[in-house]
Structure 1
């Protein structure tokens, strides 16, 4: 016969939580303590129902069934402080709640700053990549321009060759070159060709930012081109190379216009802004030996007149200061330099 005292006791998970059951009260107190402890740690991660049930030694189903009134505190829908009794612990809970709120506030602000930083970084990277792309485009365009300039240079060189051939034909027509198909004729009173080193343009480039080295290189290149042109007049009779030793105190164009060539003589008038003996001699060595060679040097007796002439002739396109200094301290040519004639001529105001 079965007796009630021989019947096994049912687990507290299997019976409703009776308020008078000490076991149930203890388990409830344990659950509350676990919830409060989790809150006091400052851990913002929500306490999972499965983990809480495991810590309390009950199943998840029992937690839902018998302690469902605690779920709002677990999920954060209700303030955990309401579960606490006693002023000291309540104050501690409120303090922790305030700390959690402040931390959450600044975490959100930090997240916003991080997002803004990432956007700014993306924008900077995009701008940098765009700059690189623009640099590539500029490089491509510069390569195209360089190629076009090279083609134009080759075309110009071919045109210069054609001009040289036409000049030679013209000379042959006047009987200047030996072996001409037409009989030799007397030359006109004035038979001269002018070769100018464009100092004015070079000086303008210098004033716009080119260096002294670039100025000197460009000047040397122009002089070399003129020197090379002299070779094509080999074979012509009675050629005189007239070198104008430019001191930047008179106009070369005026000198060339006023120069009177000898009868039956071809005059090649060259502007030579060279100031040292070695520079002149290096140029003279390249002149065909059968050509006559003359050097003409402008002269003015006073420094004030020299400065006035220079200012008047060049105005706002003065040559570089070192170039002016070279002209003022230039060596005076002499017959020993390898020439046939040295002429000093006094300039007039306005020349």
Structure 2
């Protein structure tokens, strides 16, 4: 994982008021909860007293209460009450504090800061310049038995399209890969497919290619967008579970009609198209070994793998920064 980044980990709608949800993200077992006033909190899913899962407890006001002995912890992980000691106790409870994690919400997404809290930024990664509240969207999720780096690379891979998606988005047998051209600016890696039917011509170099209006975009650490048209986009955030598992949250954004309810209908059916394409990818990507990708590996990459090579280089640079 890349330190000191905001990771998209879960849809906001997944956690209701007065509810606790146990999730595993970034190799961490977490208990996320909403207080009575809707405020979000996130602590390690383990009580400091006897190690029980806090996610099996309940919300008490602004705190999460352990199911075992009812110790209470606020969103900062501070132990605020130990029933066994009594309400009048003046004993120091700081030794019972639990690890808390910084979480924020935007765009219907819960973000978790992975790293040093004092280095946390205000900016939450998203494609703000491309989608807003005027778009309708639908969302599906799917679990892949793959490292999140492999899942991301698959969405930057223009070489696989005519083979894996031969009967969907890859129809036409365009197996010859021109380029592709790759750009990286303002934390966005951008590329586009420029594939052709192979009639014996020499592929164009990346320098000879341009990035098309329909293009692929990736924003570190874990959010991707397929810019299909000005009015249709697909966004995926790849929530790392651990070193071998990822949950993909896939959104279909639509603003084709001036009437919101029509866009809602189109978005609803759009998620089924997303599912068909995503499942074609999944059955191949989950077989890749090793589970995580790396810049220096035994893979024999092609010129057409330029977007993947750039992704790996940037990821390695970010991982090296502390």
TM score, norm. by length of structure 1:
0.17
More strand by share: 2
Identify which of structures 1 and 2 has the higher relative contact order when contacts are C-alpha pairs closer than 8 Å and 6+ apart.
Answer: 2
The structure that has the greater radius of gyration is 1
